[in-house]
């Protein structure tokens, strides 16, 4: 494996949305300024949080502020693409902070690769995930199991740097999606691995599964993604 395709995997555990956002945006700034070349994936689980993307609207949040406060759900406006989505316990969120020259500097290809990561991870347990052309993410039938929303900014060289990423519903409380119009799509549903398989999932196993799938998709020679176990404490 060439050096430019090495990727470090940083497990943040459960962390507030704002703290994880600060970690990934700091790393993105390092890449944009040429202070660092490290390709990094941050894996995290958030407490209940609704985020509104750049093409979103607060009209797609169906619950009032008092109800959200009583439920302990935070609301954040963020600079990723996409509309409204939900993060919460039982959901693995991956924030790949990458410079994209090793992958053709192609944002469309990058999004398809993220979808492929999830499709391969789901296939390991017998779930067939699909793409829907007009809606980024991964679907099972008419239900979304994984949301994708990314932000890309250019280095002075023209190379893209990515942040934000994907959110896979593993054991997520799907009732919380009733608080929003997920991704602004009113005529489709949301699902989870737990619902699809009919049983609660060993959550930590799904991080390992996603990591292996990320490796298979992004590192063509199949070498292991570098795991930086001590990076989490440093990143905090």
The torsion angles phi and psi of 231, rounded to 5 degrees, stand at -70, -30
* Reported pTM: 0.89
Q: Which one from 98, 170, 180, 183 is the annotated catalytic residue?
A: 183
> What digits encode the pLDDT tens for the residues 126-146?
999 999 988 889 999 999 999
Residue with tokens 């940083």: 10
The torsion angles phi and psi of 177, rounded to 5 degrees, stand at -70, -15
Q: State the pLDDT at residue 235.
A: 38
In the chain, where are the structural domains located? 3-235
How many Å apart are CA 26 and CA 17, to the nearest integer? 14
**Residues 190/140, Cβ–Cβ less than 8 Å:** no
How many Å apart are CA 34 and CA 37, to the nearest integer? 7
> What digits encode the pLDDT tens for the residues 83-126?
788 999 999 999 999 999 999 999 999 999 999 999 999 999 99
> Residues annotated as binding site?
80-87, 147-149, 165-167
CB atoms within 10 A of CB 204: 10
* 3-class DSSP assignment, residue 196: helix
Average pLDDT, the chain: 88
Instruction: Please calculate the CA angle 45-96-22 and round it to the nearest 5 degrees.
Output: 65
Q: State the pLDDT at residue 223.
A: 42
H-helix or E-strand spanning residue 163 = strand 160-169
**Residue 230 pLDDT exceeds 60:** no
As a residue count, the chain comes to 236
Q: 183 catalytic, yes or no?
A: yes
**Residues 5/102, Cβ–Cβ less than 8 Å:** yes
Question: In the predicted model, what is the mean pLDDT of residues 73-82?
Answer: 82
> What digits encode the pLDDT tens for the residues 201-227?
999 999 999 999 999 999 964 444 555
Q: State the pLDDT at residue 137.
A: 94
CATH of the domain spanning 3-235, picked from 3.30.930.10, 3.40.50.2300, 3.30.450.40, 3.60.21.10: 3.30.930.10
**Residue 5 pLDDT exceeds 90:** no
Percent of the chain with pLDDT over 90: 68
> Residues annotated as binding site for substrate?
80-87, 147-149, 165-167
């Amino acid at each position: 494996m060439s050096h430019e395709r090495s990727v470090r995997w940083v497990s943040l555990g459960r962390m507030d949305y704002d703290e994880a956002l600060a970690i990934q945006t700091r790393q993105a700034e390092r890449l944009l300024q040429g202070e660092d070349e490290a390709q990094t994936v941050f894996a995290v689980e958030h407490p209940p949080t609704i985020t509104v993307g750049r093409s979103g609207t607060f009209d797609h949040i169906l619950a009032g502020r008092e109800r959200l406060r009583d439920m302990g759900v935070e609301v954040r406006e963020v600079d990723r693409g996409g509309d409204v989505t939900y993060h919460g316990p039982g959901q693995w969120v991956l924030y790949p902070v990458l410079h994209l020259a090793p992958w053709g500097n192609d944002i469309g290809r990058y999004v398809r690769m993220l979808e492929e990561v999830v499709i391969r991870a789901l296939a390991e347990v017998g779930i067939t995930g699909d793409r829907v052309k007009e809606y980024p993410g991964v679907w099972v039938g008419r239900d979304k199991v994984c949301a994708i929303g990314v932000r890309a900014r250019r280095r002075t060289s023209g190379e893209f740097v990515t942040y934000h990423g994907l959110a896979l519903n593993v054991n997520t409380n799907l009732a919380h999606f009733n608080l929003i119009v997920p991704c602004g799509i009113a005529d489709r549903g949301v699902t989870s691995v737990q619902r699809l398989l009919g049983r609660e999932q060993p959550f930590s196993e799904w991080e390992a599964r996603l990591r292996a799938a990320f490796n298979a998709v992004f590192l063509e020679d199949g070498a292991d993604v570098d795991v930086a176990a001590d990076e989490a404490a440093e990143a905090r």
